[in-house]
Amino acid sequence: MKILFIGDVVGKVGRRMLKDYLGTYVEKYGIDFVIANGENVTHGKGLIQRHYQELLDAGVDCITLGNHYNSKNEINRYIDSADRLVRPLNLLNGFRGDGSVVYDLDGVSIRVTNLLGSAFMEEQVNNPYYAMLDLFEEEPANIHIVDFHAEATGEKQSLGYVLDGKVSALLGTHTHVQTNDCRILPNGTAYISDVGMTGFNDGVLGFEKESVIRKNFYGEMVKFTPPEEGVGIFSAVVLDINEFDGKTRQIFPILFKEEKK
């Protein structure tokens, strides 16, 4: 089973990158199932229903979220009917929706789980490890992909080793910068500290660099804005998973930058 996991899709350029390039990668690598982190899709924070549908129309099968799960109020109105959307599992606030969803693909069950980290994050969350233990009480799926939306690489690596052999892949998101450490852990779990960002390339984390610099260095209260157009990057990993034992045979990264237009 070939799965493509796309790192944080940011704003309009991110959405365009999916429309322009996702089909090419799906064909090139024979992808069966596409997961994308969509917490930054709507103007950099959150996900409105129209953009949820736009990602599905572009070929995404499942969308995960992160700390911006509730940045657009509208999500409260549609999340219950959005069966392709997975919000963080370990929220303590009882938010609606599901944090772990099982999909059926021609008889193969694929569980997708979204987890928030606890280090340097502001959200009130349950310990990610204990949240996972609860999940293991349920009937195992053939394949289990975990999007670990977290800041600290140490926390990500620790959870990767703790879950090694228990899930098919633990993939880091949130920092928007792809790390050069994807590998298969000793017991067959694929790991990368961060898949990276899909969106505007010539900025800071997909946002206009001027606004971020003004806040970081001059303390100005400015909104971070993702540009409407510009050269984009596409960050993802491809997983080749044995659906009979749930272990991953191969993981490799995609980090594609468009030519200047």
Q: Which is nearer to Fe ion, 66 or 203 (CB)?
A: 66
Tell me the sheet residues that pair with 167: 164
Catalytic residue among 43, 51, 68, 174: 68
Would you tell me which residues interact with Fe ion (CB under 5 A)?
Answer: 66-67, 174
Map 47-65 to HEC letters.
CCHHHHHHHHHCCCCEEEC
d(CA 156, CA 151): 8
Q: Which is nearer to Fe ion, 66 or 128 (CB)?
A: 66
d(CA 205, CA 203): 6
Least distance (Å) between residue 99 CB and Fe ion: 15
Q: Which is nearer to Fe ion, 225 or 242 (CB)?
A: 225
Q: Which is nearer to Fe ion, 67 or 198 (CB)?
A: 67
Q: Does residue 161 contact residue 172 with C-beta atoms inside 8 Å?
A: no
In Å, how far from its chain's centre is CA 92? 20
Least distance (Å) between residue 195 CB and Fe ion: 12
Asked if 68 is an active-site residue, the reply is: yes
- Phi and psi torsions of 199, nearest 5°: 165, -150
Least distance (Å) between residue 62 CB and Fe ion: 17
d(CA 251, CA 173): 16
Q: Looking at the annotation, which residues are catalytic?
A: 68
